[in-house]
């Protein structure tokens, strides 16, 4: 797996561990002949065979790579947890039963933000 993709996924993987979720199952994607130039991708695998791709653009700033990867992982985690019960991972600490946090790049860093109040909660990887 490309080093920049591993680095981009590291913060959200820390957040997954910190919130008590099962670790991500990742595998490198096989070449299919229509890859996006200057990108790196992997396949997230769920427990029921569900899969979702995650891709970053290698020439983007680091915060954008982290945010892009985190958005896909968040979507995957919500889909995975939905099998057990509806979820809003990671829950907004200000509104824990209504919505999950949203990832945004702010001041050059990938951050978790309350989508309702637009308040920065913490950096991705610091839950």
**Per residue in 53-95, pLDDT tens?**
999 999 999 999 999 999 999 999 988 887 776 678 999 999 9
pLDDT at residue 32 is higher than 70: no
Crossing angle of the two packed helices 62-82 and 3-18, in degrees rounded to 10: 50
Is the sign of the CA dihedral 22, 101, 11, 15 positive or negative?
Answer: negative
pLDDT at residue 43 is higher than 80: yes
**Per residue in 107-123, pLDDT tens?**
999 999 999 999 999 99
Picking from 10-14, 24-28, 83-87, which range would have the lowest pLDDT averaged per residue? 83-87
The average pLDDT across 33-49 equals: 84
DSSP string covering 53-72, please? EEEEETTS-HHHHHHHHHHH
Task: Please list, in sequence order, all residues whose beta carbon lies within 8 angstroms of the beta carbon of residue 118, skipping any fewer than 6 positions away.
Answer: none
Task: Please list, in sequence order, all residues whose beta carbon lies within 8 angstroms of the beta carbon of residue 31, skipping any fewer than 6 positions away.
Answer: none
pLDDT of residue 101: 96
């Amino acid at each position: 797996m490309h080093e920049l993709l591993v680095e981009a996924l590291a913060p959200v993987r820390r957040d997954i561990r910190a919130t008590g979720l099962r670790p991500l199952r990742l595998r490198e994607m096989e070449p299919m002949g229509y890859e996006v130039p200057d990108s790196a991708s992997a396949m997230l695998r769920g427990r029921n065979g569900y899969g979702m791709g995650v891709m970053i653009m290698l020439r983007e700033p680091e915060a954008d790579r982290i945010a892009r990867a985190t958005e896909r992982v968040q979507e995957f985690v919500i889909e995975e947890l939905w099998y057990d019960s509806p979820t809003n991972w990671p829950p907004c600490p200000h509104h824990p039963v209504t919505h999950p946090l949203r990832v945004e790049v702010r001041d050059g860093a990938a951050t978790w933000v309350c989508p309702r109040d637009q308040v920065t909660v913490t950096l991705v990887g610091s839950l």
